Amino acid sequence: MIKRVQLMFEDFVKTESAGGIFLFAAAVLAIVVANTGLAAYYDGLWETHVQFRIGAFDLDKSLHHWVNDGLMVLFFFVVGLEVKREILDGALSSVEQAALPVIAAVGGMIAPAILFVVINIASPENLNGWAIPAATDIAFALGVMALLGNRVAPALKVLLLAIAIIDDIGAIAIIALFYTAELNTTALILAAVGLAVLVGLNLRRTTSITPYAIVGAFVWLCILKSGVHATLAGVMVAFAIPLVGRDGSSPLKHLEHVLHPWVAYGVMPIFAFANAGIDLAGLGLGDLLAPLPLGIAVGLIVGKQLGVFGFAYGGVRLGITRLPDGLTWREIYGLACTAGIGFTMSLFIGTLAFSDPEQMDPVKLGVLLGSLVSGCLGAVFLAAVSRRQTVPAAPARPSPAVGPVQGKTAPPPEAFEERLPEGFAEGLPDDFGTAEDLPETGQAEEDTVVPRDRP
């Protein structure tokens, strides 16, 4: 059972990582199209209105809004499934397992927001975007680690995934509390009735997906009309899906397995193509240094590093939590750099914070710049500090003159500084390269942060 869960996790990471490539390609395509003669067609496409009308009931939104308010619901639904599974049966299912990612994720949300506010304090019209640099893009972040292959410890990938999931929980809470328009009480009451039906289905441990889909669509429609952002319906419905049904099957895991590729290869690339297009013509240094894009970029690049690494280091030093076995502070710092890739969720929060195109272009610029620099920093740093896997020794042929071929081992710790730019490691903690819990053999223990086996 444990082996099967590990294979499921590996499949999840591979899908998420490959999805990051599609996401990146869609973003690049959007930028290219927006800066060619196709720009008018690009803008016209997303401004095309699609209407559904039955009697007095009328839904009339642009294609861009249908992507952000409709298609992204599926993304948040899968996020909700992941969060629930990790809380009940995964890396967040115990206080000991959840302590480090929770502390790191909280720091990774607070520090970027503070830096954004400090940089934009003299531009009050920008302050509504304080939450934009507080998010981490799971697909891109895991994609960066996937590029390094087995040089990145599995425990580091699990930790990054847990931090990103908690980060998503924080982003969902921020959207609900700070980016909600005027409320329609009647629609909210109807949504609550729908949620009550879903809870009833959950308590009965209903395994059929059809009733959840029908009632979930009703809840989404009510929330769409209520003034609360419609994507929150995806999370609410996801939390109603049972982990274990009456027949012992898992509707939650089944839905996650079926929908995750559609989200990774479809929903997120479409969202990126719809939102990443930015006209780069005439952009100069002054545009990059304007408070709005600068605040976002600095928040993602510097704030995430300070928040994730600083809070994690403080939590361990205060005895609140501990590093997973086999990980070093160098690897945690590389993870903190990678967590600055905010792309999908940052762009999404940006669309909620600002509706003026004159503000959205700087938002896109800041998100793209901050995510690109964070991704490059994370990849370079993790490549420099990650331990090389031992290469199995080749079988030696019997010969008095030739001894057995020795496997390659990890380079000595003192070689680490030689592989970084000059002065890069100055000011780091004295134990920045130590693994407190490494066995005496020097080999990292197997990652133990895996979902517990349940019938």
Nearest-5° Cα angle at 383, 380 to 385: 110
CATH code at position 93: 1.20.1530.10
**Per-residue confidence (pLDDT) for residue 264, from 0 to 100:** 82
Q: Is 198 inside any structural domain?
A: no
Condensed to tens digits (0 to 9), the pLDDT of residues 226-244 reads: 877 777 888 889 999 999 8
Report how far residue 407's alpha carbon sits from residue 389's, in angstroms, rounded to the nearest whole number: 10
> Domain tally for the chain?
1
* pTM score: 0.71
Residue 277, phi then psi, degrees to nearest 5: -65, 120
The larger pLDDT score, comparing residue 14 to residue 330, is at: 330
Q: Does residue 27 contact residue 276 with C-beta atoms inside 8 Å?
A: yes
211, part of any domain: no
43, part of any domain: yes
Cβ-Cβ contacts under 8 Å for 168 (sequence gap 6 or more): 79, 83, 135, 136, 138, 345
Q: How far is CA 158 from CA 6, 190, 449, in A?
A: 11, 39, 7
Least confident of 54-63, 69-78, 298-307, 347-356: 54-63
Residue 301 lies in a domain: yes
Better-predicted residue by pLDDT, 192 or 409: 192
The answer to the question of residue 272 being in a domain is yes
Of 204-208, 271-275, 354-358, the range with the lowest mean pLDDT is 354-358
- pLDDT band with cut points at 50, 70 and 90 for residue 393: very low
In a domain, 57, yes or no: yes
In a domain, 76, yes or no: yes
Answer whether residue 240 is part of any domain: yes
Domain that holds residue 135: 2-180+229-385
From the list 388, 441, 440, 393, the residue with the least C-alpha distance to 411 is 388
Tens digits of per-residue pLDDT, 141-192?
Answer: 877 777 777 778 878 888 888 888 888 888 888 887 888 767 788 888 999 9
Q: Distance between CA atoms of 127 and 178, rounded to whole angstroms?
A: 12
